[in-house]
Structure 1
């Protein structure tokens, strides 16, 4: 039995595309679904993500990956060639995109839907995608059974106050992409969106209110801001599970282009698969008792 891999591309509005992939071992049995979410300056085919999708799938799960419609990566899939869209990206747009993906799973419109159990969905997000997991699950708890955050943000505003003020005054600011050497634009709409949704996008408060199981995996060699956010989550939302990986950076030691896995990445995968197994076993037992 081999893994099946199908792609999808949906036009959400003129010129705005949502592209993704489904990976699953198709044996006619409906499997729980893991939705894998990239972060800021990330995309579904960055380095580790295709490998992670295959490893998370194993023979037990269907895994969906996708590019946010405004992540700046176009049809080619590996270059930031839509920087105008990247500039206008917001958490509101990302949560909308995630809702479209989950809606397609629920409605049977996703490729290989016949292999999916739409009632058992888990979110796994990296970096900003980890924050999106918390926000989506808090707002739509009926859609997902649990979440996992890998080196996830605890604050939607990743930037300094000085940068924010400059962007709001000038209409746009730029952040460097160390890998591509591009200057990535951030439009004022990003900060305006955060101002309009201060409580809705307060990740720590939303995590504290979250009743479903959640796992936060954090490398201690990540940026100080993310490590501090991890500890703040641990203090304010102690009902969840937390694992700190020692001497592990933001991408678990992996690079783009992909050159191979690392011990740190394998630890994150094993932790996530173990969490999924426990989560969906609890769900199965609950269904049987009902």
Structure 2
């Protein structure tokens, strides 16, 4: 594929309670509106993590306007996890509100390069927890999203074991280590309370089963057993959708942060994604 010059434009907008969404839009310079891909990062992820900028460029080169962003409570302000107090406030309700705000601005033409976006053709592409969030958001906004792709996506919104949940509910807070930065990242009781209060809404299997728009799930078979099993549960919940495995691929398709370049597994995931989105564009 011939590489074309890409335009990249940053955006930032405020939400309630000192929260901010920051992101970028990437698109080639040709005139005309193209389908939009909203890339959704996962737990302990952010828009500039590892393969995300590369994936955004590849998708933009393939004829899409691509939006990357940080969830407002992902813990990243100006640098990696410099807002851990916000990370501790994060919930699925917060992330879904962020996605709703982004979709609303996208449809209103309030993001940069909006003259190159066809807001009637929006696909959500999410990694890990972002895959689950994408399925929930598509089920909640059936008229806004025309396709969903989940990369090594979760099938269960609760990422933690019962012992950790009970400790957090008892003490009000618990911590998970970031293996890369060695930071202790807070999880507060509000996370589990939000899950309990919205059990039906955040049922990812129910969400994918309800979707009439096309869905592609891609799963590395060397990912964590919980996610490999979850992928089978997603397939059983929505057997008429497309579910593919990549042999030998791990949770990040072999990519690392800082990004050290693409891997064959990452390229395969992107190839499958582009083919699917172009088929349903």
Same fold per superposition (TM over 0.5): yes
Select the residue among 36, 39, 50 that pairs with 2:53: 50
Task: Show the counterpart of 2:66.
Answer: 63
Counterparts of 1:144-163 in structure 2, within 5 Å, are 144-163=145-164
Is 1:27 the counterpart of 2:30? The answer is yes
CA contact (8 A) 1:24 1:59 kept: no
Quote the residue 1:287 is aligned against. none
Query: 1:235 Cα shift?
Result: 1.2
RMSD: 0.8
1:26 Cα shift?
2.2
Moved more, 248-257 or 6-15: 6-15
Residue in 2 aligned with 1:170?
A: 171
The reply to whether residue 112 of structure 1 matches residue 129 of structure 2 is no
Q: Which runs of 5+ in 2 are unaligned?
A: none
Contact 2:62 2:274 in 1 (8 A): no
Q: Look up the match of 1:212.
A: 213
After superposition, give the CA deviation of every residue in 1:21-40 in whole Å (9 maximum; x if it has no partner): 00001211101000001000
Q: Matched residues in 2 for 1:246 and 1:2: separation? A: 33
Shift of 1:87: 0.8
Listed as ranges, the matches of 1:119-198 within 5 Å are 119-198=120-199
Structure 1 unmatched runs, 5+: 281-290
Alpha-carbon separation, structure 2, partners of 1:275 and 1:47: 23
With structure 1 as the length reference, what TM-score do the two structures score? 0.94
TM-score of the pair, normalised by structure 2: 0.97
* Contact persistence 1:25–1:59 (CA under 8 A): no
Cα separation, partners in 2 of 1:254 and 1:59, compared to 1, 3 Å = closer
Output the CA distance in 1 between the equivalents of 2:13 and 2:46: 16
1:151, 1:218 within 8 Å by CA — same for their partners in 2?
yes
Aligned to 1:81: 82
Displacement after TM superposition at 1:59 (Å): 4.7
| Residue number in structure 1 paired with 2:243 | 242
8 Å Cα contact 2:129/2:153 also seen in 1: yes
Match of 1:37 among 40, 53, 57: 40
